[in-house]
Structure 1
Amino acid sequence: MAPKGRLAALLVAAFCLCSTLAAAADVIAVSGEAHLQELVKAHPFLAVELYAPWCGHCKKLEPEWAKAAAQLKDHDPPITLAKVDATEKANEPLKALFKVSGFPTIKIIKGDTAKAAPYEGPRDEAGIVAYLKRQVQPAYSQLASAEEIAAAKAESEVLVLAYLDSNTSAEFKTFAEVADQLRNDIDFRFVTDRSLVDPGCAADCTSPLLTMHKREEPGEVATYDGKLTPELLSGWAAVKSLPLVLKFGSPSGMKHLQKAFSAPSPRLIAVVQEESGELLEQLQQASRANAELAVILAVAKDSQRLLDFYKVPARPGVTLLLEDPKAAAKYLKADAKPSDVPEFLREFQEGALERWLKSEEPPADNSGPVRVLVAKTFEEEVFGGGKDVFVELYAPWCGHCKKLEPIWDSVGKALAGDDGIVVAKMDATQNDIPTPKITAKGYPTLVFVTAKGDVVPFGGKREKADLLSFIASTRVTKPSGDAEEEDDTEDDDEDETGSKDEL
């Protein structure tokens, strides 16, 4: 290359380096919780990336985050980008505060770290900029004419339209809070002239009125008639924004299905060999009549993952499965007809259905040092046996569970002659946990249930000596028989849990 060409190349390289460094300088590096709180006070809209230096995804995001910060530094209203090295000791409280379980984790903070929202946008410069610009704008707007309302309905995939007599009332604050919470999926608009949304209402109609309109279902208008609290309104909006009936296995409906299966509200799943118009009509009516119910249609040939997850065999006719996450309960009606849907839901609402459990069969030989539990036997053996029971809830694929297995067997052998203690385990991917007192958010989950029925989670080191020490200090029964002398094996593993199996 000629000297002039090399000089030009060096100048370009130097310019690019300077530009990158300048962009990086626009991202504020956070050090400690006190520093973050200072930033939150000084910057009304703060987007914070929590990263680990060794994380490949974080390395890929870093230049995009820096370039986005450079673009947004003069934005009105202000948008500030920051980053937190979550591996630094000073930032450990922030990792705990935001419940970081993977990298990068990005949070949006608008004046209160306790109400930080997850960033759910793209990870390239243009996408970050567009997403954050939308987030900094109000999540709602006021409409003043019938023409503006018609345009909003035409433009919005899902629209919540509210009449609120004042933009300073408690009802308006609830509306605004929910709008901000659900802004990525639902458009929120309001009017202060009731005649625009309810022409037939008399002059004394002053109570709030909220309706939902979906572009793909123009004839389906849902009206909110519950108490106006953030929790109830957001739950209603999240469920009613879904199509009347979700079809499992549809690529276009994956986002909706994820919402339905993560929501705390009940969901009705109808499993069939072939879709029929009669069943679809019954399910649509059920969806219209039950404000918080998500309704899902699963054709067996397209829904094997769902059938495997719930351990529901594909049968002729209709299988109805109703899951209530709040009660940690499921209800099943096999060999049903489409016309059984209303009665099945009525019995659920009246508490007349018998609970159904996903369960393996108990082992024919259960004489090992660790008692094998299944959903069918769990309540009786854990809460009804009059003994202290130390239970491991595991997943066969979990590496931490595999590492624990010989240690757990050793603990069982050590206490085999003690009539007051049962050391047990259950495959929580194949069996439901039949009590809301115990949940498995990760694997392995270890819980100690005393003979009095108290549930004590175990969060210590998973070594034999530590487990035996915990048993000795937690049990309420008196030791009996011969116990093996415990050793002092040191723990060299961090106390982590595997991810919970998900549909």
Structure 2
Amino acid sequence: MANKRFSLCFLFLLALLPSQISAADESEGREFVLTLDHSNFSQTVSNHNFIVVEFYAPWCGHCMKLAPEYEKAASILSSHDPPIPLAKVDASAENNKELANGFEVQGFPTIKILRNGGTLVQDYKGPREADGIVDYVKKQSGPATIEIKSADDASAFTSENKVVVVGVFPKFSGEEFENFTALAEKLRSEYDFAHTLDAKHLSRGESSVTGPVVRLFKPFDELFVDFQDFHVEALEKFVEESSVPIVTVFNNDPNNHPFVSKFFDNPHIKAMMFINLTADTADSFKSKYHETAEQYRQHGISFLLGDVEASKGAFQYFGLKEDQVPLIVIQDNDGKKFLKTNLEPDHIATWLEAYKDGNIEPYRKSEPIPEVNNEPVKVVVAESLQDIVFNSGKNVLLEFYAPWCGHCKKLAPTLDEVAVSYQSNPDVIIAKLDATANDIPRETFEVQGYPTLYFRSASGKLTQYDGNRTKEDIIDFIEKNRDKPDQQEQVKDEL
């Protein structure tokens, strides 16, 4: 679950700011993209050895932006020999929810590559514009690993700013080669794989080896690394760990975005330092940070260096301000955050040491507590969550929402009506919390989409509301689950 949260976080960082919702009709001009739902999905997928499926929501701004590019790519790929199908599923439709959950869809758009009739599922990790989609999908539909027969082949394969994996073998058979091919098939959506009989073709590394050996090329740190354990699990671990820089750089260079994605996808604790990379002090910060990263990466911590100019979305996500720069924020796998602002280079190692020793208090992102909170639906922020929801002794219905969410906007007037119905009842509170601007205690509330509603009775019973979103159904739920004043007194007497 933590990995999924970080993946979503990364998408947010690249987007920088949430897309605005429009009322554009997403169905126009969709003659090449196959429309799938719960009734025809399994049958359609089982008929294809290779198919790409987008899980989308009609109100999602990113999906709207992708739609014409995806359609254009589908039209081009329909002429491929053989044709390569692209499909879409409205994952927000109620009758498709179970289907989307089966593919762990937690954000939009989510794109999956399905192979062998759907028996092998991989994440799509390619571009989001038509030509890039076409090139990526064509490559994904071909062999998982290609043969390098010359130095020119090797140069063309390793020249780009990305991680590539090459197996050197004395022959293209045997257990080692089969395991390498199996790894290539498993990880092909994330890395490019090749194999060769002659290491002399390769531009880096020992040229006299005859193998079997796996050589991973990368555009950072030591530039290449060899590995000779051909168990598939060991190979996979080697590739995953070696493909993440000691310090991942997040700036406006799109070549760095795949490494930022890897940073947020890995299971480690995340340390992120944000500075002005053009400042006179930048080199000093980078040097000290790199030294600290080398020291602590063996302790399960990954490190990212962000340029403040390129990190507007990150600052909004973490609730940071530019006058706090230079700063470090750490997010652990429980979602807790730790913050050091107005940093000096010599603070980096000592603060990391204090964090590792448990001597740093967690940081909580919160909007300011409203000075006036007299609307029917009360505003809750992270700093007031404890007082209003847990310590008020009231029955509280709390909505977790996102300002850009279409479903939340649709629910808002209904919640207003519910709140008005309870205005004369001091024992019931209807409240809302902007989950994009406030940290949520993940150990208490599981919020994977918007809106999410929880009800906490006056006596402390917490229940997630999954019913219909009508005024009558919500009120009926509250009446069945709330504690009446006489029941509260009975609970107190029993205590």
Give the shorter-chain TM-score range.
0.5 to 0.7
Question: Match for 1:407 among 414, 429, 454?
Answer: 414
One-letter code aligned to 2:465: F
Structure 1 residues 340-351: aligned runs within 5 Å = 340-351=347-358
Instruction: Decide whether aligned partners of structure 1 residues 376 and 470 sit closer, same or farther in structure 2, where only a CA change above 3 A counts.
Output: same
Instruction: Decide whether aligned partners of structure 1 residues 174 and 361 sit closer, same or farther in structure 2, where only a CA change above 3 A counts.
Output: farther
Question: Match for 2:389 among 379, 382, 388?
Answer: 382
Q: Give the Å deviation of 1:467.
A: 1.1
Instruction: Decide whether aligned partners of structure 1 residues 412 and 238 sit closer, same or farther in structure 2, where only a CA change above 3 A counts.
Output: farther
Instruction: Decide whether aligned partners of structure 1 residues 426 and 233 sit closer, same or farther in structure 2, where only a CA change above 3 A counts.
Output: farther
Q: What is the CA–CA distance in structure 2 between the aligned matches of 1:170 and 1:454, rounded to whole Å?
A: 55
One-letter code aligned to 2:283: G
Q: Which residue of 2 aligns with 1:278?
A: 284
Q: What is the CA–CA distance in structure 1 between the aligned matches of 2:320 and 2:471, rounded to whole Å?
A: 38
Question: Match for 2:144 among 127, 139, 147?
Answer: 139
Instruction: Decide whether aligned partners of structure 1 residues 256 and 28 sit closer, same or farther in structure 2, where only a CA change above 3 A counts.
Output: closer
Q: Is the 8 A contact 1:272 1:315 kept in 2?
A: no
Q: Is the 8 A contact 2:284 2:345 kept in 1?
A: yes
Deviations 1:165-224 (A, max 9, x none): 9646997587345522413xxx34579999x9998xxxxxx9x98774323x36355789
Q: What is the CA–CA distance in structure 2 between the aligned matches of 1:383 and 1:287, rounded to whole Å?
A: 40
Instruction: Decide whether aligned partners of structure 1 residues 284 and 113 sit closer, same or farther in structure 2, where only a CA change above 3 A counts.
Output: same
Q: Is the 8 A contact 1:362 1:374 kept in 2?
A: yes
Q: What is the CA–CA distance in structure 2 between the aligned matches of 1:397 and 1:151, rounded to whole Å?
A: 44
Q: Is the 8 A contact 2:399 2:451 kept in 1?
A: yes
Q: What is the CA–CA distance in structure 2 between the aligned matches of 1:370 and 1:342, rounded to whole Å?
A: 46
Q: Which residue of 1 aligns with 2:473?
A: 466
Structure 1 residues 54-453: aligned runs within 5 Å = 65-73=74-82, 80-81=84-85, 83=87, 92=96, 107-111=112-116, 113=118, 115-118=121-124, 120-121=126-127, 124=130, 130-140=135-145, 157-160=162-165, 167=175, 175-176=183-184, 178-183=186-191, 187-188=192-193, 212-215=216-219, 217=220, 219=222, 228=233, 236=241, 239-240=244-245, 244-250=247-253, 253-254=256-257, 256-257=259-260, 260-261=263-264, 265-272=268-275, 274=279, 275-289=281-295, 290=297, 293-299=302-308, 303-315=311-323, 318-324=326-332, 326-366=333-373, 369-379=376-386, 381-384=388-391, 387-398=394-405, 400-416=407-423, 421-450=428-457
Q: Give the Å deviation of 1:431.
A: 1.6
Q: What is the CA–CA distance in structure 2 between the aligned matches of 1:57 and 1:261, rounded to whole Å?
A: 23
Identity %: 27
Higher RCO (C-alpha under 8 Å, 6+ residues apart): 2
Q: Which residue of 2 aligns with 1:46?
A: 51
| Structure 2 residue matching 1:433: 3-state secondary structure | coil
Q: Give the Å deviation of 1:365.
A: 4.7
One-letter code aligned to 1:111: N
TM-score when scaled to structure 1? 0.65
Q: What is the CA–CA distance in structure 1 between the aligned matches of 2:234 and 2:456, rounded to whole Å?
A: 37
Q: What is the CA–CA distance in structure 2 between the aligned matches of 1:246 and 1:384, rounded to whole Å?
A: 43
Q: Is the 8 A contact 1:417 1:480 kept in 2?
A: no
Q: What is the CA–CA distance in structure 2 between the aligned matches of 1:31 and 1:372, rounded to whole Å?
A: 39
Q: What is the CA–CA distance in structure 2 between the aligned matches of 1:441 and 1:167, rounded to whole Å?
A: 42
| Structure 1 residue matching 2:384: 3-state secondary structure | helix
Q: Give the Å deviation of 1:97.
A: 5.5
Q: Give the Å deviation of 1:257.
A: 4.0
Q: Give the Å deviation of 1:369.
A: 4.7
Q: Is the 8 A contact 1:143 1:149 kept in 2?
A: yes
One-letter code aligned to 2:269: P
Q: What is the CA–CA distance in structure 2 between the aligned matches of 1:59 and 1:392, rounded to whole Å?
A: 34
Q: Is the 8 A contact 1:248 1:257 kept in 2?
A: no
RMSD between aligned alpha carbons? 5.3
Structure showing greater Rg: 1
Q: Is the 8 A contact 1:394 1:444 kept in 2?
A: yes
Q: What is the CA–CA distance in structure 2 between the aligned matches of 1:264 and 1:168, rounded to whole Å?
A: 28
Q: Is the 8 A contact 2:316 2:437 kept in 1?
A: no
Unaligned runs of 5+ in 2: 1-29, 59-63, 487-495
Q: Is the 8 A contact 1:245 1:284 kept in 2?
A: no
Q: What is the CA–CA distance in structure 1 between the aligned matches of 2:316 and 2:125, rounded to whole Å?
A: 32
Q: Which residue of 1 aligns with 2:484?
A: 479
TM-score when scaled to structure 2? 0.66
Unaligned runs of 5+ in 1: 1-23, 74-78, 200-205, 482-503
